[in-house]
Structure 1
Amino acid sequence: MAMDAEQSITEGFKALSAGRPQAALEAVDAIDADSYPRASLLAGHAHKALGQHAAAEFAYRALTQKPDRRHSATGWWSLAGLKTAQFSAADAARLDSLINGDEQDGYLGLLHMTRAEIWHQAGMPDMAFAHLKAGNDLIAAARPFQGEAYRAFIDELLTVEPFALESQVAQSANPIFIIGQPRSGTTLVEQILASHPEVDATDELSFMGHRGADLQRDGGYTAALQSNDGSRWATYQQQYLDIVLPYCEKGGTYFLDKTPENFLHVPLILKILPNARFVHVIRDPLDNIVSQYRHFFPEGREYSNSLEGLVFYWRGYLMLMRHWSALFPDRLHHLHYSQLVTAPQDEIADLLTFCGLSRAQECFSPHETQRPVMTPSAAQVRQPINAAGVDSGLAYGGGLKDWLKDIGQLKEVSARLFGKG
């Protein structure tokens, strides 16, 4: 029975990763969550993706009661990441007790991050920041950011020269890649476009990043981009479309890939998918850096666990987006988050025009669209478009005082390259 339960949970996580949260719930429906804590975690994630916030909170709270620190800490952070859960004084006291224990590890980092969310809800950003720093420092120690490798990759990509977009590969589909920084509004843009009757949404697909790593190992990323080996690009295209196809319930003529890090792979994507368009979502650097620093990413994005790493990552991102904008200006649409949420009618109309889509009314009320949302912003995109996130980083200025000059420079460069938001 234990093996069957573990197998069902594993299959459930696979279903969730494939964008099928209902199938994930069915996989663990008959499993005793008290005996198998991962079933509670899976149920919470699946309910969250479906917009069933009360059920998600129930599952996550069950996980917080587990004696195993790994499970309880994951439950606490998942509860905080839900963004709809309201914490009580008893919750705060319980977290303080756990934080003040003897164990110093990455799971303690998650507890600090959750305690920061409680202080944030209470309107006390300075207290929140103290826990954010403590939590991020612990997590960064457990999984450090490889900054030198990132900078070397950026430097290599900056040597990419123009090449003909008429790839050796034929293509009938119209992929739309949503790129930028995590926590910049990419999920909102995805929700807007996925509301269109002709557009299918996928997920944050890792395919392009993995193929880029393959090319780097096999003789160099940029050298491969200069190649006209049509068979390689055709193979990659078919592999990618095979991943996308199960998501396409509307026909797949237009589909979305909302992987922010694909800003690193614009020329590779154009080699594989010559019809690709890119929507580059830009958020104010201060707001974005604070938002990322307040969030725990379970896989990758190690730079987000330090302010130094965030500023460093932003610098490389701006350099590269300037380069791609010069090489492929007709394939990039720069969309400011602040303009989108303050003047949505105009911005959405321009977005649809760039994507070659008709002006579907559903796109102007995306919160009404019922679909699974697999990213941390699932709760926010189910609300009417609003400007609550604009200038949200200002409250944390006290904690960021040593970095405000650097962040201000990022804002100046971003405005110079892409206009003011």
Structure 2
Amino acid sequence: MTDPVEQAARALAGNPARAEQQARALIVRNPADPRVRLILASALRRLDRAAEALPLLADLAKAWPRAARTRYEYGLCLCAAGQARDGAAQLDEAVRLDPDLADAWQAMADMAFADGDPLRERRALAALARIGAGHPELGRAAELVALGRHREAEPLLRRWLMARPRDAAAARLLAQCYVAFRAFDNAETLLRHALAVDPASSGARFDLAHALFARQQAADALKELAPLLAADPRNPAWRNLQAGCLALLGDDIGAEAIHAELAAAFPANARIAINHGHALRTTGERERAIAAYRHAATLCPQAGEAWWSLANLKVGALTDADEAAMRGLLAGNLPDAERMHLEYALGRRCEDAGRAGDAFARYAAGAALARRHFGGAGRDWAAQAQATADLFTPAFLAARKGWGAQSDAPIFVVGLPRSGSTLVEQILASHPDIEGTMELPYIGALAGRIEAAGGADALAAATPEQVRAWGEEYLERAAVHRRLGRKWFIDKMPNNFRHIGLIRLILPHARIVDVRRHPMASGFSCYKQLFAEGQEFSYDLADLAAYYRHYLAIVRHFGKAAPGTVHNLIYEDLVDHTEAEVRRLLAAVGAGFDPACLRFFANDRAVRTVSSEQVRQPIYRSGLDQWRAFESFLAPLAAGLGPEREGWRA
């Protein structure tokens, strides 16, 4: 015969009213049984009557102070009754009494997410990972992954999987390590293996979608997200990733709508407010973006990204009061990531105020943290430029003339970051026959695959069919970004200058525009910019100089090896002689002149780069010589440039 207490407990999830009725009857029969009073309290909470449950739970907690389950229910009821601080304290006590009480940890994680407390949320998620692993050794590795300590977790997980290759949970954890290391191929292989072993694992499917998004394969990521969203359409993690994918595919309105919904659902979460601010900035809603960033900074003053996002609008959004607040934060204890963002933000504020020495000190402090965070470049740029020249000789290119996909649709805008490429993109995208997309990752990803397959040897051995297939693959991937049906489209990935030879090979009719700026100006502009990722060379002045020389060497090589391949546009000339340079630019890409290109600032297209606010106003000269106020601090850049400081135009 079924135990009536167990029967009442089982009714809680599906029919709390019935559970209440049964619990009250049991209390009449046995008022001393604490189990039925706890069931009654839980039923009342589930029926939105938490206040009625509180006296019951207070008595239970007093009578049985070491009962973790009672503390857990007491914490939930206090939170439901609007006493969140006391509720959180009860949850803390519950997990202290029983470190394996998963329900309490989950409640703590949910509360921390809603409150925008990432440290508390991470602690709870780490405990849940440990508990869910089911084995102490695997649990330790799972905890390390949740805490972001992937280097420590990776060898533990490899050893575990060597002995248990069909452990889907361990494969998923190791894949998370590989995503952190940006070893996306390894991560995808492991996650697909995990799903083959356990097709119903929503966690593995979400991780696969995230890995695909991280390698900027947004369409593929959305396919993996689709069944998750169908089953749980309100899940904030699913929705946030969906918004990121839509933004990558150019659906900025759809992405902003999702971020707005999340911001409304979780108004106390600073991370969600920052994401919403980014989406608003992309769509040109500057004032609403500022409001979102300020809301985030109010919710979590130490959220460095909120402050940097305000500074990075480059419209003087920071005030004297903001500067005082940032200085106060920097005087205290902060995680390196938050300190890094705040140093850059305060540097921008000091620069706007005309205090060059103070500004540079802040930029230098931020750059040192960024170099540690992202890793130093540590590459021999001169050797890489020479390797490019050695491979793509005139004879090599002539022997492969006519290979590749025959489309003339792509226009590649290349150069150093912060050299005016966003402005050139905006000018071109204002032409009725040219569509602006974004900084597409597909050439770089293809180059990485070829490098992994043998690099120069793989390219030299490629057949005409293989080369054409690479070009068609690029066009197919880029097609999802072409939403306007125009004749040409722009790929504005600046670092594609490193792949001019590959572009020339697989897309022989593509246009390539090199946007070049004074090396001291572009170098300093890079140095004071905190990039999201992928520009590790920019956090050291000597490395910046080497990278600029590397860039010049490659572009100049193709000017000799394949004359006419690249159209060189000097940013300073574009500023001083706008119409003449715009006419030259349009002629170089094969488009006729259109006056709309001179009114590029009226174009309301989404702009995703850090120059988004600058290209929404007419060209101005004030930024050309900003670096001169900092010249005394830029000696390593000047020395590293050598003769190219003056000879960069050649």
TM-score w.r.t. length of structure 2: 0.61
The structure 2 residue matched to 1:122, chosen from 334, 342, 353, is 353
Q: Which has the higher contact order (CA 8 A, sep 6+)?
A: 1
Aligned AA for 2:240? I
CA distance, structure 2, for counterparts of residue 68 and residue 405 of structure 1: 40
The structure 2 residue matched to 1:51, chosen from 284, 301, 309, is 284
User: Do the aligned residues in 2 keep the contact of 1:199 with 1:250 (CA within 8 Å)?
Assistant: no
User: Do the aligned residues in 2 keep the contact of 1:15 with 1:23 (CA within 8 Å)?
Assistant: yes
Residue 75 (structure 1) shift: 0.9
2:316 counterpart of 1:82: no
Residue 213 (structure 1) shift: 1.2
User: Do the aligned residues in 2 keep the contact of 1:178 with 1:278 (CA within 8 Å)?
Assistant: yes
Report Cα offsets for 1:229-283 as digits up to 9, x if no partner.
1332233223222222232233242111111100000111122211111111110
Residue correspondence of structure 1 range 337-356 to structure 2 within 5 A: 337-356=571-590
User: Do the aligned residues in 1 keep the contact of 2:638 with 2:645 (CA within 8 Å)?
Assistant: no
The structure 2 residue matched to 1:211, chosen from 446, 449, 454, is 446
Which range moved further: 335-344 or 389-398? 389-398
2:628 counterpart of 1:397: no
Report Cα offsets for 1:32-59 as digits up to 9, x if no partner.
2434433222211111111111011111
Higher helix share: 2
Matched with 1:385 is 619
Which range moved further: 365-374 or 159-168? 159-168
User: Do the aligned residues in 2 keep the contact of 1:365 with 1:384 (CA within 8 Å)?
Assistant: yes
The structure 2 residue matched to 1:147, chosen from 359, 378, 385, is 378
Matched with 1:4 is 235
Matched with 2:200 is none
Matched with 2:418 is 183
The structure 1 residue matched to 2:494, chosen from 260, 280, 286, is 260
Structure 2: any 5+ residue segments left out of the alignment? 1-109, 114-233
CA distance, structure 2, for counterparts of residue 280 and residue 135 of structure 1: 29
Distance 1:252 1:121, change over 3 A: same
Residue correspondence of structure 1 range 301-316 to structure 2 within 5 A: 301-316=535-550
Identity of aligned residues (%): 31
User: Do the aligned residues in 1 keep the contact of 2:304 with 2:337 (CA within 8 Å)?
Assistant: no
CA distance, structure 2, for counterparts of residue 402 and residue 247 of structure 1: 40
2:287 counterpart of 1:41: no
CA distance, structure 2, for counterparts of residue 350 and residue 67 of structure 1: 49
CA distance, structure 2, for counterparts of residue 17 and residue 79 of structure 1: 22
Matched with 1:244 is 478
The structure 2 residue matched to 1:296, chosen from 507, 520, 530, is 530
Residue correspondence of structure 1 range 58-73 to structure 2 within 5 A: 58-67=291-300, 69=302, 72-73=303-304
Which range moved further: 152-161 or 348-357? 152-161
2:248 counterpart of 1:13: no
Residue correspondence of structure 1 range 367-378 to structure 2 within 5 A: 367-378=601-612
Residue correspondence of structure 1 range 94-109 to structure 2 within 5 A: 94-103=325-334, 105-109=336-340
Distance 1:249 1:13, change over 3 A: closer
Aligned AA for 1:365? R
Matched with 2:256 is 25
Q: Secondary structure at the match of 1:178?
A: strand
Aligned AA for 1:200? E
Residue 68 (structure 1) shift: 8.2
Matched with 1:112 is 343
RMSD: 1.9
Distance 1:66 1:230, change over 3 A: farther
User: Do the aligned residues in 2 keep the contact of 1:168 with 1:228 (CA within 8 Å)?
Assistant: no
Aligned AA for 1:172? S
Residue 76 (structure 1) shift: 1.0
User: Do the aligned residues in 1 keep the contact of 2:546 with 2:641 (CA within 8 Å)?
Assistant: no
Structure 1: any 5+ residue segments left out of the alignment? none
Matched with 2:570 is 336
The structure 2 residue matched to 1:327, chosen from 556, 561, 575, is 561
Matched with 2:402 is 167
Aligned AA for 2:406? Q
Report Cα offsets for 1:92-122 as digits up to 9, x if no partner.
1110011111236232111110000110111
Say how many residue pairs are matched. 413
Matched with 2:177 is none
The structure 2 residue matched to 1:363, chosen from 568, 573, 597, is 597
Distance 1:85 1:246, change over 3 A: farther
User: Do the aligned residues in 1 keep the contact of 2:558 with 2:565 (CA within 8 Å)?
Assistant: no
Q: Secondary structure at the match of 1:330?
A: coil
Residue 399 (structure 1) shift: 1.7
Aligned AA for 2:421? T
Report Cα offsets for 1:296-332 as digits up to 9, x if no partner.
0111111111112111211211221221111122121
Aligned AA for 1:395? A
Residue 10 (structure 1) shift: 1.1
Aligned AA for 2:280? H
Residue 203 (structure 1) shift: 0.7
User: Do the aligned residues in 2 keep the contact of 1:12 with 1:42 (CA within 8 Å)?
Assistant: no
Distance 1:401 1:219, change over 3 A: closer
CA distance, structure 2, for counterparts of residue 304 and residue 405 of structure 1: 16
Aligned AA for 2:453? D
CA distance, structure 1, for counterparts of residue 641 and residue 381 of structure 2: 19
Residue 149 (structure 1) shift: 5.4
2:507 counterpart of 1:273: yes
Report Cα offsets for 1:4-29 as digits up to 9, x if no partner.
11211111111112222211111133
User: Do the aligned residues in 1 keep the contact of 2:601 with 2:616 (CA within 8 Å)?
Assistant: yes
TM-score w.r.t. length of structure 1: 0.93
Aligned AA for 2:431? H
Aligned AA for 1:211? L
Aligned AA for 1:197? P
CA distance, structure 2, for counterparts of residue 276 and residue 306 of structure 1: 34
